[in-house]
Amino acid sequence: MKNIELFSRPLAVTPIMPLSGNYTDNELYMKRDDMIPFSFGGNKARKAAEFYKEIIKSGADVVMTYGSNSSNHCRIIANMAAAMGLSCHIISPEENREILYNTKMVEQFGAVIETCPVTMVSETIEKRIKAYKNNGKKPYFITGGGHGNPGTESYVKAYNEILRQEEKDGIFYDYIFHASGTGTTQAGLICGKLLAGDVDRTIVGISIARKEEIGRAVVRDSIKEYLGEDFEKLYTENTLIFTDSYCCGGYGNYTSEIENTIDYVMKREGIPMDTTYVGKAFHGMLRYIDEEHIVGKKILFIHTGGTPLFFDYIKNSEN
Ligand SMILES: *Cc1c(COP(=O)(O)O)cnc(C)c1O
């Protein structure tokens, strides 16, 4: 197994930059997790840095995961496995077979893609793990999207990183906004907040797909799993804000207003955002700020990556 030096030490701090554009009557800042310097970065790179340690510990020779082969998660995991000299096996739903830049990269990294109907996912995963073991192999399975405690841990660390940046810059962010999908990023941020006792800060997850009830339940479960016996002591329902008001009816859907926001942010700030996650959540945040009449606050938006999807967007857009 080969090392990835970048993941063998603490990740470098990602920049927080003030935004110049005219968006709201608040001060807006962006934390650039899209600039994590591995495979186009993003929150999946942050999570992968934690899974990397687990894989090294386990002595695995096959890295397995679940997800669409056009996803940011699968790109990063396939890249990491290739860099480590390990084989990579991805179980992918046979629905939704779009060929995007991520798909091309996953192929280039040499990952094996096994497709199955979405209803057969868990049995396919189990069968494949068993088959590898019977062949004397040691698979390490990463839950889809980098869900699970190592993924949560990566955003507890990111939260603590924000605390150190605040101290250094002499600033306090009243709000943190970000795109919420599997909820791992949000769970990590909330655990970080609860463990630090930061009662004055509000974290808002903008759902990019899930309905509020299921989305909340999954974030809550991840928080509970991570905090263990401290959960009852630390957690209160009002620390978890997960809104589905801006998800445009589901995964991948977006509006021309979202496109306008993406185009403006690219021109005005030089920052690429995709339509599935970051652009959708950034636009949702602006609407939330407006609808909740938030003014005069310092607001931090976390750019969670997805840069290859930005290129798919401009390639296919008509503007
Ligand atoms: C996966 C992803 C998210 C969602 O993160 P979760 O931890 O699954 O909630 C947000 N932004 C981008 C770019 C992603 O790839």
How far apart are alpha carbons 319 and 316 in whole angstroms?
9
> What is residue 291's predicted lDDT score, i.e. its pLDDT?
98
pTM: 0.97
Cβ–ligand 1 contact at 144 (below 6 Å): no
Report the separation in Å between the CA atom of 238 and the middle of ligand 1, taken as the mean of its atom positions: 22
Report the separation in Å between the CA atom of 152 and the middle of ligand 1, taken as the mean of its atom positions: 12
Cβ–ligand 1 contact at 173 (below 6 Å): no
- CA distance to 19, 127, 175, 180, 193, per residue, from 201 (Å): 20, 45, 6, 18, 8
CB atoms within 10 A of CB 197: 8
pLDDT tens track for 156-170? 999 999 999 999 999
> What is residue 32's predicted lDDT score, i.e. its pLDDT?
98
For ligand 1, mutation pick of 182, 214, 276, 303 (most atoms within 8 Å of CB): 182
Q: What percent of the chain has pLDDT over 70?
A: 99
> What is residue 79's predicted lDDT score, i.e. its pLDDT?
98
The residue contributing the CA closest to ligand 1 atom 4 is 181
> What is residue 95's predicted lDDT score, i.e. its pLDDT?
84
Nearest to 300 by CA among 145, 183, 157, 158: 158
How far apart are alpha carbons 16 and 300 in whole angstroms?
8
Nearest to 178 by CA among 284, 261, 252: 284
Looking at the DSSP bridge assignments, the partners of residue 190 are none
> What is residue 98's predicted lDDT score, i.e. its pLDDT?
87
Cβ–ligand 1 contact at 39 (below 6 Å): no
> What is residue 317's predicted lDDT score, i.e. its pLDDT?
85
pLDDT tens track for 252-278? 999 999 999 999 999 999 999 999 999
Average pLDDT rounded to a whole number, residues 283-311? 98
Cβ–ligand 1 contact at 209 (below 6 Å): no
State the chain's mean pLDDT as an integer.
97
pLDDT tens track for 128-153? 999 999 999 999 999 999 999 999 99
Specify the ligand 1 atom closest to the Cα of 180: 9
Q: Is the pLDDT of residue 246 over 80?
A: yes
Q: What is the crossing angle of helices 149-169 and 184-196, to 10°? A: 50
Report the separation in Å between the CA atom of 162 and the middle of ligand 1, taken as the mean of its atom positions: 18
Q: Do the Cβ atoms of 298 and 29 come closer than 8 Å?
A: yes
Instruction: Give residue 300's pLDDT band: very low, low, confident or very high (50, 70, 90).
Output: very high
Helix (H, G, I), strand (E, B) or coil at 177: strand
Report the separation in Å between the CA atom of 134 and the middle of ligand 1, taken as the mean of its atom positions: 34
Cβ–ligand 1 contact at 305 (below 6 Å): yes
Instruction: Give residue 319's pLDDT band: very low, low, confident or very high (50, 70, 90).
Output: low
Backbone angles phi, psi at 253, to 5 degrees: -75, 140
If you search the block for the tokens 């991570």, which residue do you land on? 226
First to last CA, the chain: 46
Q: Is the pLDDT of residue 117 over 90?
A: yes
If you search the block for the tokens 């990579």, which residue do you land on? 88
Structure tokens at 318: 């008509």
Report the separation in Å between the CA atom of 278 and the middle of ligand 1, taken as the mean of its atom positions: 8
Q: Do the Cβ atoms of 133 and 169 come closer than 8 Å?
A: no
